[in-house]
Amino acid sequence: MTQSPLSFPTPRPGVLDIAAYVPGRDKAPSGKTLYKLSSNETPLGPSPKAVEAYQSISDDLAAYPDGSAHDLREAIAKRHGLAADRIVCGNGSDELLSLITQTYLSPGDEVIISEHGFLVYPIATKAASGTPVEVKDKDLTADIDGFLAAVTERTKIVFLANPNNPTGTYVPFSEVRRLHAGVPPHVLLVLDAAYAEYVRRNDYESGIELAATAPNVVMTRTFSKIYGLAKLRIGWMYGPAHVIDAINRVRGPFNMTGPAIAAGAAAMADTGYIDKAVAHNERWLPKLTEALDGIGLTVTPSVGNFILVHFPKTPGKTADDADDALLAEGLVTRKVGAYKLPDALRISIGSDEANQHLIATLTRFMADGR
């Protein structure tokens, strides 16, 4: 028998077009203290109450977790004034983004994303045989006119990270409303508000209100950033009942672990804990931006807990050279070539010590190229 080219299992269309996601690095050279500024985690860690709740589950590992994540949804609902039955929790918001594409896309359906948008969107889209349609940014910010112009009859989903990672920029909520008003009712608008807690702008909204009232808007949130629980993988989404129902049919019956449910609920209930992280960010975001500006680097104005820093193309001073110099000092940042920003590094706002070390290292680097 001759072998036909299809005599082996082949992935669905789109899967082999995926460029695998490369996570932020987490290793310093041996002997160096690691300052991990590569994945936008908080330097302040999680609420001690969340840690305690996590540990309390260690006696009960044999039993399946609550598949509905009831306690976690209730804690989120109470804190944000929402209906708990319109919340779905996910193994990180990454899982929810994938569930959304799996639930709503058919082969060839189009998904609108921004030029320098979060890389999980094209991955989740291609994995579900959808077609990502990229819209050019304006000043490294999502261009709502461009989004509206990209809508076709094949458009099924629009992903908007607000604020966006890795640029740190945001669009005012009036623009989000204009986007919503301009897309047809069968298009699902996904507002990814992973950094919402950090934003201090009076024209910003996360999208809770729109997701509460519109039949085609969902908002996703995460415990990985300001809540300091990235390792537990906890995300949540709020949206119309019919979307929540569809997602719950596709989602794995036990997608959340017991420790994640317990720790997440305790973190949400510890109101006030994240205020420290907000204050730390508010202190360092302008300080870091000004310091790097002062040594000749360009920093994109950010409203999140990270900055996008642009380096010269001059040999010895490039983003890759800076990355080498930082790494040698234990400072691990994020290269963003995969985001089409080869001349920049994304740097999370770290502890006082990490930030001071970063400024000192980059000051030396810009002065003498070392």
Ligand X SMILES: *Cc1c(COP(=O)(O)O)cnc(C)c1O
Which residues of this chain interact with ligand X, rule CB under 6 A? 40, 92-94, 118, 161, 165, 192, 194, 222, 224-225, 230, 235
Helix, strand, coil content of the chain in percent (nearest 5)? 40, 15, 45
Task: Select 230 or 338, whichever has its Cβ closest to ligand X.
Answer: 230
Task: Select 155 or 224, whichever has its Cβ closest to ligand X.
Answer: 224
Tell me which amino acid residue 328 is: A
CA distances from 33 to 327, 353, 354 (A): 10, 11, 10
Task: Select 82 or 96, whichever has its Cβ closest to ligand X.
Answer: 96
CA distances from 251 to 98, 245, 254, 317 (A): 10, 10, 8, 47
Strands (E), the chain: 35-36, 87-90, 110-114, 131-135, 155-161, 188-192, 217-222, 235-238, 298-300, 306-310, 331-332, 334-335, 344-348
CA distances from 115 to 22, 25, 175, 251, 309 (A): 18, 23, 17, 29, 17
* Three-state secondary-structure class, residue 88: strand
Task: Select 37 or 161, whichever has its Cβ closest to ligand X.
Answer: 161
To the nearest whole angstrom, how small is the minimum distance from the Cβ of residue 18 to ligand X? 17
Sheet holding 344-348, edge to edge: 298-300, 306-310, 344-348, 334-335
To the nearest whole angstrom, how small is the minimum distance from the Cβ of residue 194 to ligand X? 4
100: Cβ–Cβ under 8 A, 6 or more apart, which residues?
A: 124, 157, 188, 190, 218, 237, 247
To the nearest whole angstrom, how small is the minimum distance from the Cβ of residue 90 to ligand X? 7
Task: Select 135 or 362, whichever has its Cβ closest to ligand X.
Answer: 135
To the nearest whole angstrom, how small is the minimum distance from the Cβ of residue 342 to ligand X? 19
DSSP state of 230: G
Task: Select 88 or 194, whichever has its Cβ closest to ligand X.
Answer: 194
To the nearest whole angstrom, how small is the minimum distance from the Cβ of residue 225 to ligand X? 6
To the nearest whole angstrom, how small is the minimum distance from the Cβ of residue 233 to ligand X? 6
Longest dimension (CA), the chain: 71
To the nearest whole angstrom, how small is the minimum distance from the Cβ of residue 355 to ligand X? 20
Structure tokens at 47: 């609420």
Torsion, Cα 61 67 68 72, to 10 degrees, reads: 20
Task: Select 229 or 243, whichever has its Cβ closest to ligand X.
Answer: 229
To the nearest whole angstrom, how small is the minimum distance from the Cβ of residue 269 to ligand X? 19
To the nearest whole angstrom, how small is the minimum distance from the Cβ of residue 364 to ligand X? 30
Torsion, Cα 229 234 237 238, to 10 degrees, reads: -70
Q: How many CB atoms lie within 10 A of CB 31?
A: 6
Nearest residue to ligand X, scored by beta-carbon proximity: 92
Tell me which amino acid residue 20 is: A
* Three-state secondary-structure class, residue 113: strand
Task: Select 128 or 194, whichever has its Cβ closest to ligand X.
Answer: 194
Task: Select 160 or 366, whichever has its Cβ closest to ligand X.
Answer: 160
